[in-house]
Structure 1
C-alpha cells in the first residue's frame, strides 16, 4: 500500500505570532513539494482561531505548485452558503487541475467555536445537518446539470459553471470520531480524517466504516483512511517534549496534558516518529497529514521521504 504524507501549513500559528503575510506560507507549501511531500493542507476558522481563509490561500498555492495535492484540514462547510461554496470549490479545483481534497468537519463544541457560528448567523445545534445537506447540494451543482433544490436553500433550474476539474467534484473526507461519523463516512463520504484516535481505536473504527460501506453497496477499498497528526520532532527528546507542550498550551489555551488525551501527538527523535506513524499505517491509514510544532522547515526536512519507509 502506497503511503502518502501531507504537510499542514501553519496559518494559525503565523497569525498568533503577529505574522500575517501570506508569502512565507506559500513558500512553505513550495518547500514541501520540493522535499517530496504528497500534499499540502490549510486549516479553517473565521474568528475562533483566526487564520488565513483556506480556499483563497490554496488557490495561491495551486498556482505555485504542480504535483502536490491541496486540502482543507478541515473546512467548516456549515459556515458557508453551499451555492457560493460550490462555485469557489469548482474554481479552485480548476486552478489546481484536480489536485483538491476537501477535508470537512462540524466544529468542536467549545465556547469560542459556538461564538464563531453565532457571528456567522448559523445555528450551532444544526451544524451537522446543515453541513450534510449543503454538501449534497454542492455535489448536485458540480454535475453541471440543472438543479432544483427545496430545503434549507431554494434553487431553481440552476446550472453551475465552471464544473470542477474532476467529474462530480473533489473527494470529501469527514473528520471526527463520534459514533455518527461511522455511518456517514461509510455511506456518503470518500474518506475519514480524524485527529484523535490511538492506532488501536483507529483500526476498530476504520473496520466499522468499511463494513458500513460494504453493506451500502460501496467498495470499501475506494475509501481513504487519513489521519491528522501533531509532531515535535527533535533528536533531543526532552527538547521535543517541551516544544510540543508549549505549542499545545498556546494554540488551544488549555493544559497540554489534556490536549494530548484528545489529539494524536508525538514528541521525540525521527526514528521514533517513524515507528509511531507506522502504528497508524498498520491501523489502516494511508494518508498521514503532519502538523509540526514550530521549526517548520527543519522538521519537514527531518521527515522528508518518510512515506517510503512506511507500509512495508
Structure 2
C-alpha cells in the first residue's frame, strides 16, 4: 500500500505570511514521516505554483518518494515540449516520476481553459490519448508521430527519461469510457468516487478492459484521490472542510462530496473510511489535506503520518495470505 499526499501548491491553501518556498520543506517532512509519494495539482482556475516546476524543485530535495501529478492537464502545454519536460523531471529524480493526466471537465473547470490554450474542446479525450502516445514515442526516440489529431515530422532528438519508455502514465476519470481507456492504454487509474462500492465496480471494469486488450490486470495501478481532515469528531471536521471547500472550489461541502471522496472525523474514523477504499481495491492513496494554511497543513500531515502503519497493515496481511499484491 502506497500512501502519498498532495502538496498545497494553491494560494487558497496558504495563510497570511506563508512562504511558498516552505513547500519543499513540506515535501521533505512528508518523506521523513513515511509517506511514499508527493503529488501536485495542475490548473489555471486558481493561482498555484506550476505543477512541473514544483516537481523539478522536489526532485533534488527528496530521495525516495514518488513524484506525481494529480492530475496534469496536457492541453495547457505544447505536447512535444511537455514530453521533454517530463523526461527531464524523471531523469533528475532518478526515475521517480508518475504522471496522472486528465482532460478537464465541463463548466469553469474545463472549457474556458481550452479557449485559453487555443485547443479545441471537441475530441478532447482522443487528443489526450494521442498526446500520451506522442510522449511515449518521443521518450523512445521516435523522430515522427502520425495520429488522427497530432502529426509531427522531424522531431529533434530529445532527452531520454531515466526509465526506458518513460514514467508510468495514469488516467484520472471515473466514467465507464474512462475506465475502459484506462484498462486499454494507461499504467494506472486515479479517480475520486465518493463511495467505495463505486470504486470497486469501476476497478473491475478497468481490469476487464485491460484483459480484453491482452494486458495483465495487475499492470494497472489502482489509486485513489481523496480529501481528508482529521478532527476531534465528524461534526468539527465537516465545519473545517466546509470552509475548505468554499475557499478552494467555491462550492459548499455537500456539493463537493457528491462528486469527490471526502473523509473526516477522528483518526480512527478516517482510518476506517480509508480502509474501506483499500478493501475495494485501492493500492495507492493520494490524500489532499483539508487545511487552509501551511501550519495547519503540517499539523494534518503529522496526524495522518500516525495512521500510516495501521493503513498499511491490512494490505500486508492480505499479501501474506496471497489475496493481493503489496503495491
TM-score by length of 1: 0.94
1:18 shift after superposition: 6.6
* Match of residue 24 from structure 1: 22
Which among 222, 228, 231 is matched to residue 225 of structure 1?
A: 222
1:21 shift after superposition: 4.4
- In terms of mean alpha carbon deviation, does 158-167 or 67-76 score higher? 158-167
- In terms of mean alpha carbon deviation, does 104-113 or 289-298 score higher? 104-113
Which among 256, 263, 267 is matched to residue 266 of structure 1?
A: 263
The alignment covers a number of residue pairs equal to 309
* Match of residue 282 from structure 2: 285
Query: What SS does the aligned partner of 1:55 have?
Result: helix
Query: What SS does the aligned partner of 1:169 have?
Result: coil
Matched, 1:144 2:145: no
Aligned ranges for residues 167-182 of structure 1 at < 5 Å?
A: 167-182=164-179
CA distance in 2, matches of 1:116, 1:77: 11
Which among 29, 32, 35 is matched to residue 33 of structure 2?
A: 35
* Match of residue 10 from structure 2: 12
CA distance in 2, matches of 1:283, 1:23: 37
Contact 2:267 2:307 in 1 (8 A): no
* Match of residue 193 from structure 1: 190
CA distance in 2, matches of 1:135, 1:170: 11
Aligned ranges for residues 61-100 of structure 1 at < 5 Å?
A: 61-100=58-97
Structure 2 gap ranges (5+): 318-327
* Match of residue 297 from structure 1: 298
* Match of residue 103 from structure 1: 100
1:119 shift after superposition: 1.2
Contact 2:189 2:221 in 1 (8 A): yes
- In terms of mean alpha carbon deviation, does 139-148 or 97-106 score higher? 139-148
Contact 2:75 2:117 in 1 (8 A): no
CA distance in 2, matches of 1:306, 1:74: 25
RMSD of aligned Cα (Å): 1.8
1:141 shift after superposition: 0.6
- In terms of mean alpha carbon deviation, does 113-122 or 65-74 score higher? 113-122
* Match of residue 122 from structure 1: 119
Q: Report Cα offsets for 1:15-71 as digits up to 9, x if no partner.
A: 77576843111111111011110000100012x122111001100011100010000
* Alpha-carbon distance change, 19 to 189 in structure 1, aligned in 2, over 3 angstroms: farther
Structure 1 gap ranges (5+): none
Contact 1:4 1:307 in 2 (8 A): no
* Match of residue 235 from structure 2: 238
Q: Report Cα offsets for 1:132-163 as digits up to 9, x if no partner.
A: 11111110010024334354343224353211
Q: Report Cα offsets for 1:276-302 as digits up to 9, x if no partner.
A: 110111111000011011121111111
Contact 1:142 1:160 in 2 (8 A): no
Contact 2:137 2:145 in 1 (8 A): no
TM-score by length of 2: 0.89
